[in-house]
A and B are shown apart, each in its own frame.
Chain A
Amino acid sequence: MRTMAAENIIEMLHITKEFPGIIANDDITLQLRRGEIHALLGENGAGKSTLMSVLFGLYQPEKGVIKKNGQEVKINDPNDATALGIGMVHQHFKLIEVFTVLDNIILGAETTKAGFLQKKEARKKVEALSQRYGLKVDLDAKVEDITVGMQQRVEILKMLYRDNEILIFDEPTAVLTPQEIDELMDTMREFAKEGKSILFISHKLNEIMAVADRVTVLRKGKYIGTVDTKDTDKQSLSNMMVGRPVQLEVTKAPAQPGEPILEVKDFTVPSKAHKKNAVNNVSFQARAGEILCIAGIDGNGQTELVYGLTGLEKSSGGTVTLCGRDISHASIRHRGEQMSHIPEDRHKHGLVLDFTLEQNLVLQRFRESRFQHMGFIDQRAVREYAEGLIEQYDVRSGQGPVTRARSMSGGNQQKAIIAREVDREKPLIVAVQPTRGLDVGAIEYIHSQLVAERDKGKAVLLVSLELDEVMSLSDRILVMYEGEIVGELDPKETTVQELGLYMAGAKRMDMSRKEGEGA
């Protein structure tokens, strides 16, 4: 279809990169054709990021060569990569928050005359690029004030400004709304049409199937294969990625909601960032035996809602009733007696990283008489309990209970938190993005745990940004937009598109009547 389709612009041949004790890339070969969108698929720890870091000059491989247009090249640092026309949008943007968008774009590639910045010329060039690709940005806004979607467009413009022809996107869709994702896909296709080559790192199969021409799959540092997307499907890709047949869909029986466990009425939480309330007059119920999901784009008050419910932040109005008790003003510890909380940020709230695994597993429970006598911690009881949990939940770590939490992999850190919270056996489980950043295998496991808890008659309040997760795991969906609940949907009856419209604020229900749909 494409005229120069068969020409390889970048070839990474037999790349091996070792770190002490681990081979991150083991003889990996990746060939990127001119004008194609090439996806790089693999679980966490499969070596995708390492491979891209090698290409971008951040690491030197022990073995293997990189060729551009058939010529062997040496990429010692990102400057070499830039000189070769390789640009990268990192998963977490590398922008200076207090600089303007324009300053960020030209930083490191400024046009100067006698040592003075020539911003006018730069502005013209950026404006032209922005118009040509429909990448709308506000050049004079500070990065800290613009949306995540716009920040990403800034990153893309940075690459274009440097006339890069090989564009690496590292998990670019993680922070975007469905609509923004569609726009990004269009932009990527546009680039490809113009002959730019795109490497697209992802573990989201939908997106890969939608936009990529070919996929290279890595698993545990090894090259598994490269396939054309038109010759494959999601299931076989995920099997390649994980190495065993994976349950992509969550299997669960229909929910049997019982008594309301959590009742929230006119709940309001003030915002720290601005004068508006982060959560505004929100009311809902979570029942025993159901998974209630709060969906929405990041930053629409979900975090604050959870902080307010769990007591991490003070609410300014409304009531929260948990198991019949008013906990609106109760302490965190008091609330914790009836509630488990799998926090959004496992490093900030979930774990004390410098503590050992066993210390982390009793983070709330160390005061129970089981683990202490007269204020002295019963180390043996803690050890036994930790060993039990580690075995039951298959938490893997270097030294078992005495492993520092910091040295564990993200998936196992999350498993440890889940083990701790689920084992506390509280009637309500608040789970905030429980699978963020985890690979398919771990996600499958965590989903099955949450469903099992639901079936035990617990209420699960799930906050998720992942649409797939929202659709497949929840029994009922509430959509939050700008601090308010704008819709209640049944996942069996709604579609991702409709959900997206609510999330973007384009559609809302009158929640006081819970019927009819306003514009």
Chain B
Amino acid sequence: MKERHTLLEKEGTKSVLASLISIIIGLLVGSILILVVGAFSDNLGLGSAWEGIRLVFFGIFSTGRNAAGALTWGFNPQSIGNMLFRATPLILTGLSVAVAFKTGLFNIGAPGQYLMGTLATLAIALGIPSTALPGPLLWLLAFLGGILAGALWGCIPGLVKAFLNINEVLACIMTNWIAANLVTWFFDVNKMFQNTVENTKTSYIYKTAYGRTFVDGAWTYVDGNGVSTAKLGLDKLFPGSQVNAGILIAILFAILVYILMTKTTLGYELKACGANRHAARYAGVNDKRNIVLSMAIAGALSGAGAALYYLSGNTEFFWSTYQALPATGFNGIPVALLAANNPIAVIFTGIFMSMLNIVGLQLTKLTAYNEYITDVIISVIVYLSAFSLVIKMLLTSRRKHREAAAPAAVPPAEPAAPPVEPAESLTESAPPAEMPPVEAPPAEAPDAAAEKGGEQA
């Protein structure tokens, strides 16, 4: 009864296909850009353009240049390790956005939640003397602190939405900037966190590998005394890279979110609220509580992303953030969109987005192009990821067209797709139904209108 669709007709397949098409179009647009820039640039030329294009597609497998100056390819443990390291926070912000989406909320507040998570994590990891607590405990405390701070920050738009019915997008944008200024203020005031050991740098906070230590009657920071995420042998697998166990934690979180959303009563309630808040209320679900809870979970995930990124021990935080929000927060949106909000798929799209990052670095290192080309590619993919719904719809309608053109090709047992839908339901998928689907379209339109009428009443 269930397995009547071919693989191609499954919703999941369509989502994956739509995302892949977005990605490929994005990469192609990037290639065209590289070609154009190369052709019109004196120091690049078409030869470099060809190299650039190959790097855009396969840069993760680039191993540099050989003696003859040609690009060499192969397994590059450093690139792959760094890709996984950078994917860690992206997966978590992606999950953050995806969870909120499932509840019908657009969490554009991930950057703010990420910043607040950063603040709490660093304040705990660097504020508590490393001699006061065993390292792993301090690490855990900082990690949980980041999660909690993100959750609390996420609650604000949630509360405002639930009780004052103020659009969460507006509240999120505002709380983002509040967070940005709050963080700058905090580190500006608390000078002790500012990195003075490596005095070539300004506006950087100590890496968490530096521990607060009492030396010669004064508190100071000593490298190696602090906390950093365990490597669990991953550094042996990918030598020369920054990878650590954070990626495993991110994957674990993705699985936990998947279980939460698909197997538990809480997930059921959250999804019901997202899919139809009225019906959820009707069924006795506390919609206000669920909105706040959903934003809290979303915030917690963003906070966890920040915590894992900065607890690595080898990442530094540029604290003067009041003019710019962290891209990792915003990039959670395309990560979630490309994954069609599926928590498991977020793992892969997060890794993909961080791969583009690595590709950008390779491009800069190996050619005269700069990494911003990959930013353009990322932006194109971001735009197209929003289109992935449209692409999915096109995939669906193309199939319908074929069926309409050749009705004989449809086996009699095949469930019939509902007739052409009215325009307003274009973005909805059209699941097949065996029952003659009510009346033809005009009969469906009244239902939509009836819904409208109901709201007015």
Contact = CB atoms under 8 A, between A and B. Distances in A.
Interface of A: 17-22, 24, 44-50, 52-53, 58-59, 90-92, 170, 220, 298-299, 303, 310, 312, 331-334, 336, 341, 343-345, 347-355, 359, 363-364, 366-367, 372, 375-377, 379, 396-400, 402-404, 406-412, 437
A403 B2 CA distance: 9
B11 to A, nearest CB: 9
Given A352-B276, A376-B263, A407-B431, A399 B450 contact: no
A404 B1 CA distance: 14
Given A17-B440, A44-B443, A397 B434 contact: yes
A39 to B, nearest CB: 17
B438 A409 contact: yes
Contacts of B451: 345, 347-348
B279 A352 contact: yes
B415 interface: yes
B282 interface: yes
B279 A350 contact: yes
14 contacts: A19-B404, A19-B418, A21-B407, A49-B440, A92-B446, A170-B442, A332-B281, A348-B454, A375-B265, A398-B415, A398-B434, A399-B434, A403-B431, A409-B436
B222 interface: no
B433 A408 contact: yes
B315 to A, nearest CB: 36
Nearest to B443: A49
B455 interface: yes
Contacts of B433: 397-398, 403, 407-409
Interface residues of B, number: 58
B321 to A, nearest CB: 38
B435 A412 contact: yes
A321 to B, nearest CB: 19
A399 B2 CA distance: 7
Nearest to A93: B449
A399 B434 CA distance: 7
B324 interface: no
B442 A50 contact: yes
Given A332-B282, A406-B431, A407-B433, 6 more contacts: A20-B403, A92-B453, A333-B284, A349-B282, A366-B268, A399-B434
A336 B420 CA distance: 38
Given A21-B414, A24-B419, A399-B434, A410 B440 contact: no
B431 A19 contact: no
Contacts of A353: 275-276
Interface string B260-276: 00011110100110011
Nearest to B260: A375
A50 B1 CA distance: 30
Contacts of B445: 92
Contacts of B236: none
A344 B279 CA distance: 12
A21 B416 contact: yes
A352 B280 contact: yes
Contact of B419 (A19, A92, A170): A19
Interface in B420-437: 420, 428, 430-437
A407 B418 contact: yes
Nearest to B425: A406
B342 to A, nearest CB: 15
Given A345-B454, A354-B275, A49 B442 contact: yes
A363 B419 contact: no
A118 B50 CA distance: 64
A409 B404 contact: no
A364 B283 contact: yes
Given A19-B440, A409-B437, A348 B278 contact: yes
A226 B278 CA distance: 44
B448 to A, nearest CB: 8
B256 interface: no
A406 B450 contact: no
A183 B150 CA distance: 64
A366 B2 contact: no
Contacts of A348: 276, 278-279, 451, 454-455
B439 A49 contact: yes
B265 A377 contact: yes
Contact of B279 (A45, A220, A363): A363
B1 A407 contact: no
A227 to B, nearest CB: 23
A375 B443 contact: no
A347 B279 CA distance: 8
A312 B4 contact: no
B450 A44 contact: no
Contacts of B453: 92
Contact of A409 (B263, B414, B435): B435
B410 interface: yes
A59 B449 CA distance: 20
Contacts of B272: 352, 355, 363
Contacts of B123: none
Contacts of B447: 347, 410, 437
Which of A50, A52, A345, A379 lies at the interface centre, i.e. has the most chain B CB atoms within 10 A of its CB? A345
B410 to A, nearest CB: 6
Of the listed residues B410, B431, B451, B455, the one surrounded by the most CB atoms of chain A closer than 10 A to its CB is B431
Contacts of A303: 457
Contacts of B192: none
B327 to A, nearest CB: 32
B264 A377 contact: yes
Contact of B430 (A372, A376, A407): A407
A406 B448 CA distance: 12
B416 A377 contact: no
A53 B446 CA distance: 14
B441 interface: yes
A66 to B, nearest CB: 17
Contacts of A170: 442
Contacts of A403: 431, 433
Nearest to B410: A21
A399 B4 contact: yes
Contacts of B46: none
* Chain B CB within 10 Å, residue with most, of A21, A44, A406: A21
B454 A344 contact: yes
Contacts of B286: 331, 333
A312 B428 CA distance: 27
B417 interface: yes
Nearest to A379: B263
Nearest to A43: B439
Contacts of A366: 265, 268
Contact of A45 (B283, B403, B415, B438): B438
B279 A351 contact: yes
Nearest to A49: B442
B278 A22 contact: no
A46 B439 CA distance: 7
A312 B417 contact: no
A400 B1 contact: yes
The 5 closest A-B pairs by CB, nearest first: A21-B416, A333-B284, A19-B419, A345-B454, A92-B449
Contact of B417 (A20, A331, A359, A363): A20
A366 B404 CA distance: 40
Given A20-B400, A20-B403, A406 B428 contact: yes
Contact of A21 (B265, B278, B403, B449): B403
Interface string B200-217: 000000000000000000
A19 B283 CA distance: 35
A399 B279 contact: no
B440 A349 contact: no
